[in-house]
Amino acid sequence: MLAGGRYDGLIESLGGPSVPAFGFAAGIERIMLTLQDAGIAPPGESLDLVLVGADDQGRSGALDLAMELRKQRVSVELDLKGRSVKAQMRRADRLGAKAVMVLGER
């Protein structure tokens, strides 16, 4: 499930300063299965809001608004690929969003 070790000298071998270091990796899927076997359920994930940018101004506003809402612990998703409004709405539906807000001049 977990592995790791000391990596002293690694940064130096890559041309950086000599810095003590350590690292680790975790098998998230195995951790989840172990928790499930122990009867510990992960907290339910629910998406509060999907912000849909209808145009360039709306996409920019959606990014700013998402950052502010996340500071308030609101789970928010938004499209960063410039997809059409229709495609963004389909994605919001697939994600099971509680609400959708469309931003833009159109």
The per-residue pLDDT for range 12-39, each reduced to its tens digit, is 999 999 999 988 888 888 888 888 788 7
Does residue 77 sit within a domain?
Answer: yes
- Same domain, yes or no: 87 and 54: yes
In a domain, 43, yes or no: no
- Whether residue 67 is found in the same domain as residue 97: yes
- Do 66 and 25 sit in the same domain of this protein? no
Structural domain contains residue 65:
yes
Helix (H) or strand (E) holding 69: helix 56-71
Identify which of 104, 105, 106, 102 has the alpha carbon closest to the alpha carbon of residue 51. Answer: 102
Residue 53 lies in a domain: yes
Same domain, residue pair 21 and 66: no
Do 55 and 87 share a domain, yes or no? yes
Distances (CA, A) of 75 to 32, 34, 64, 68, 69: 21, 26, 14, 11, 8
The parent domain of residue 95 ranges over 49-103
Confidence of residue 98 (pLDDT cuts 50, 70, 90): very high
Beta-carbon-side half-sphere exposure of residue 27 (alpha carbons within 13 Å): 9
Query: How many C-beta atoms lie closer than 10 Å to residue 59's C-beta?
Result: 21
Q: Are 105 and 57 in contact (CB under 8 A)?
A: yes
How many structural domains are present in the chain?
Answer: 2
CATH (domain of 96): 3.40.50.800
In a domain, 92, yes or no: yes
* Tokens 């709405």 sit on residue: 89
pLDDT in tens, 31-73: 888 887 887 766 666 789 999 999 999 999 999 999 999 999 8
